[in-house]
Structure 1
Amino acid sequence: MPHGQAKAASAHAEGQQHPIKLYLVVWGWLFILSACSYLVDYVGLQGYLRWSLILLFMILKAGLIVAVFMHMAWERLAFAYAIILPPVLVLVFVAMMVFESDYTLLSRTLFFGAAP
């Protein structure tokens, strides 16, 4: 077995090691994003802005956790797409349904009149 293959096999058997600084930086960002999410409630934002910010911070935290702690950042791109693409498509379809429901409500209100 050539030297390069032996080294790769040895590294694979031991497992890949990441620097502790990477994990500390990610924990720091998770803390900052959690604090921002808390501040949204503390400041008293309401309506779509509140929920948009909360969802944005939630998605960013989930992305960091999946990318670093679940090692998705080091996987092949096809595998990452297989994991990440379905939830993104579900969110796109949910957004489409929200717009469709607004249109349906508007058309029913216009053609059938307001409820008594």
Structure 2
Amino acid sequence: MTNFAVHLEAQQHSLQAQVHDTLASGTVHTTGQQHPIKLYLVVWGWLFVLSTCSYLVDYFGLHGHLRWSLILLFMVLKAGLIVAVFMHMAWERLALAYAILLPPVLVLVFVAIMMFESDYTHLLRVIFFAPVT
């Protein structure tokens, strides 16, 4: 039993030395992380600017592919700012960011592929199922 007590006392002394070294070096981590308020104000400003640009697309009466492209571009930029700053994805590990952001990107890629494929399928149906004259 005395060997166990000596071993336990040595471990306790080693642990105390590690705690003392950590406190002396100043590497104690805090439990939370504070971001400067300026960051949030800048992001809010950019969200306001992007929302204004999105509104101006309708105000100037743009039509067709240009209108929808601009609206979608402003929407994606606003969503990216919100996810990066307000949902704190900019400070997450890269693996977690990929796990959350990669699936929606892949869904958009597959939707684009299906959009191009649907035109081809529609063309084939028009050609082969057209009434015989």
TM-score class, shorter-chain normalisation, is 0.7 to 0.9
**Paired position in structure 2 for 1:23:** 40
**Paired position in structure 2 for 1:112:** 129
What amino acid maps onto 1:7 in structure 2?
V
Shift of 1:35: 0.4
- Point out which structure has higher relative CO (alpha carbons under 8 A, 6+ apart): 1
TM-score (norm. length: structure 2):
0.77
What stretches of structure 2 of length at least 5 have no aligned partner?
1-18
- Measured on the aligned residues, the alpha-carbon RMSD in Å equals 1.5
Alignment partners' CA distance in 1, 2:126 and 2:115: 17
Shift of 1:7: 1.6
Partner secondary structure for residue 7 of structure 1: coil
Segment of structure 1 superposing worse, 66-75 or 43-52:
43-52
Q: How does 1:80-91 map to 2 (within 5 A)?
A: 80-91=97-108
Greater Rg over alpha carbons, structure: 2
TM-score (norm. length: structure 1):
0.88
Q: Count matched residues.
A: 110
What stretches of structure 1 of length at least 5 have no aligned partner?
none
Q: How does 1:2-81 map to 2 (within 5 A)?
A: 2-3=22-23, 7-8=28-29, 11=30, 13=31, 15-81=32-98
Alignment partners' CA distance in 2, 1:53 and 1:97: 22
Identity value in percent: 76
